[in-house]
């Protein structure tokens, strides 16, 4: 598999995520808080120490992708009848970054992920992959073109098949294009499981595995097919409490492999344990993005209900703070 992507993470993003378009006059003044993220498309892209004067602002981002972002989402909306499940969301995802996506029930988290996977089609907005405009019109396009893999809220694996069969489900290797290459698939599945430090064997029947082990199989698929972006919707829901720490380590391992992980969870302590930054949705809108620096669970709860983000040591430079956290900063994701 290619591990070329991590090298992209070496330069800091010049700008970051969109601020809340819904934020009214009661929002903070420009640069007063790192949480109300802005985007300065004109910002330079040098290392953080060399960049001065770049402050987060409550202005929404422009239509352009942010330099260095693996995936930029701009002005994306998805309606279900009268319900605006996702409302004008702009957000950047960088290589080798874990983003916690949080919000109250019905805030639009799963819908945003389903738009990224191509399961639902956005009504409005645009996407940029490695700076180039792309469309997401089908799950196949999302998987193959944007290299996105989704780990679903309810694991969608075949319980009566083996681990390796599940890992290659729908994407079988073939010899001469038609004979199923079972031996290679089994071997490659074994290599991936080893890489994930798992004792699961490729020939194990999936239904005999625990929830956490099944999660590893699902994540193994993402590694196997070298996806860049791994979306996880309430992944710890199927895992016993004792195994949650193992899972969180797996998320850190994915980041170390250069992957971008978008983690949706109501378990805010898990978010704080692994995320580099936290994006907060409120009623379908992006309320803010905060670097995971000195945050507490009660800070996150406050944000989920529309509260203002705490100021952080980054002094308002969100892009710089996210970069630092990904490269040896002091946040929970380190
Ligand atoms: N297929 C659908 N048809 C109609 N409405 C939908 C559909 N999917 C989601 N919604 C609505 O869109 C809104 C956002 O739902 P979504 O599932 O994205 O929220 P969520 O943040 O994932 O919530 P939860 O934390 O409960 O999983 C909700 O009001 C929900 O009822
Ligand atoms: Mg959901």
pLDDT of residue 322: 61
Nearest CA to ligand 1 atom 5: 80
Nearest CA to ligand 1 atom 24: 105
SS3 category, 187? helix
Ligand 1 mean position, distance from CA 280 (Å): 15
Mean pLDDT along residues 9-26: 32
pLDDT of residue 64: 84
Probe ligand 1: pick from 77, 78, 79, 80, max atoms within 8 Å of CB?
80
Nearest CA to ligand 1 atom 26: 105
**Nearest bound ligand to CA 266?**
1
**Nearest bound ligand to CA 103?**
1
**Nearest bound ligand to CA 104?**
1
Could you give the residue ranges of the DSSP H alpha helices within 81-161?
109-116, 139-144
Burial of 87 (0-12, 13-18, 19+ CB in 10 A): buried
Share of the chain above pLDDT 90, in %: 46
- Tell whether the model's pLDDT for residue 332 goes beyond 70: no
pLDDT, tens only, 209-257: 987 888 888 888 888 888 999 999 988 876 777 778 888 988 998 999 8
Q: Classify the phi-psi angles of 226: left when phi > 0, otherwise alpha if psi is within -120 to 50, otherwise beta.
A: left
In the numeric block, which tokens belong to residue 317?
A: 């430079």
Q: Where are the beta strands (DSSP E) in 81-219?
A: 83-93, 98-102, 124-129, 132-134, 148-151, 174-175, 179-180
Report whether 222 contacts 262 (CB < 8 A): no
- Confidence tier at 133 by pLDDT (50, 70, 90): very high
Question: What is the C-alpha separation between 202 and 96, in angstroms, rounded?
Answer: 27
pLDDT of residue 177: 66
Residues enclosing ligand 1, CB less than 6 A? 80, 83, 85, 103, 105-111
Burial of 6 (0-12, 13-18, 19+ CB in 10 A): middle
* Lowest-confidence segment of 117-121, 284-288, 312-316 by average pLDDT: 312-316
Mean pLDDT along residues 31-44: 34
In the numeric block, which tokens belong to residue 115?
A: 């738009």
Q: What angle do CA 10, 17, 23 make, to 5 degrees?
A: 160
SS3 category, 78? strand
Question: What is the C-alpha separation between 44 and 289, in angstroms, rounded?
Answer: 20
- Tell whether the model's pLDDT for residue 310 goes beyond 70: no
pLDDT, tens only, 173-190: 766 666 778 898 999 999
Question: What is the C-alpha separation between 130 and 95, in angstroms, rounded?
Answer: 10
Question: What is the C-alpha separation between 61 and 286, in angstroms, rounded?
Answer: 12
Mean pLDDT of the chain: 76
């Amino acid at each position: 598999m290619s591990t070329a992507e991590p090298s992209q993470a070496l330069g800091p993003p010049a700008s970051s995520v969109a601020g809340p378009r819904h934020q009214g006059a009661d929002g903070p003044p420009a640069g007063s808080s790192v949480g109300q993220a802005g985007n300065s498309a004109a910002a330079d892209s040098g290392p953080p120490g060399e960049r001065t004067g770049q402050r987060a602002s409550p202005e929404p981002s422009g239509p352009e992708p942010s330099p260095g972002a693996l995936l930029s989402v701009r002005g994306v909306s998805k309606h279900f009848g009268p319900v605006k499940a996702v409302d004008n969301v702009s957000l950047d995802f960088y290589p080798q970054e874990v983003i916690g996506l949080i919000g109250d029930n019905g805030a639009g988290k799963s819908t945003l992920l389903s738009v990224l996977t191509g399961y639902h089609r956005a009504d409005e907005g645009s996407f940029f992959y490695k700076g180039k405009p792309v469309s997401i019109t089908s799950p196949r396009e999302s998987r193959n073109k944007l290299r996105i893999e989704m780990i679903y809220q309810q694991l969608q694996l075949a319980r009566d098949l083996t681990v390796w069969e599940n890992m290659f489900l729908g994407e079988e290797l073939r010899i001469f294009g038609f004979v199923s290459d079972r031996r290679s698939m089994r071997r490659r599945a074994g290599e991936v499981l080893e890489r994930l430090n798992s004792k699961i064997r490729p020939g194990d029947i999936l239904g005999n595995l625990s929830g956490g082990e099944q999660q590893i199989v699902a994540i193994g698929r993402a590694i196997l097919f070298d996806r860049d972006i791994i979306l996880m919707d309430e992944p710890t829901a199927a895992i016993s409490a004792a195994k949650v720490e193992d899972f969180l380590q797996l998320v850190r391992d994915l980041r170390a492999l250069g992957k971008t992980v978008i983690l949706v969870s109501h378990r805010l302590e898990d978010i704080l344990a692994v995320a580099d930054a936290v994006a907060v949705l409120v009623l379908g809108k992006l309320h803010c993005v905060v670097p995971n620096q000195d945050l507490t669970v009660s800070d996150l709860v406050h944000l989920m209900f529309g509260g203002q983000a705490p100021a952080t040591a980054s002094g308002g430079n969100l892009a710089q703070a996210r970069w630092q956290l990904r490269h040896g900063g002091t946040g929970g994701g380190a």
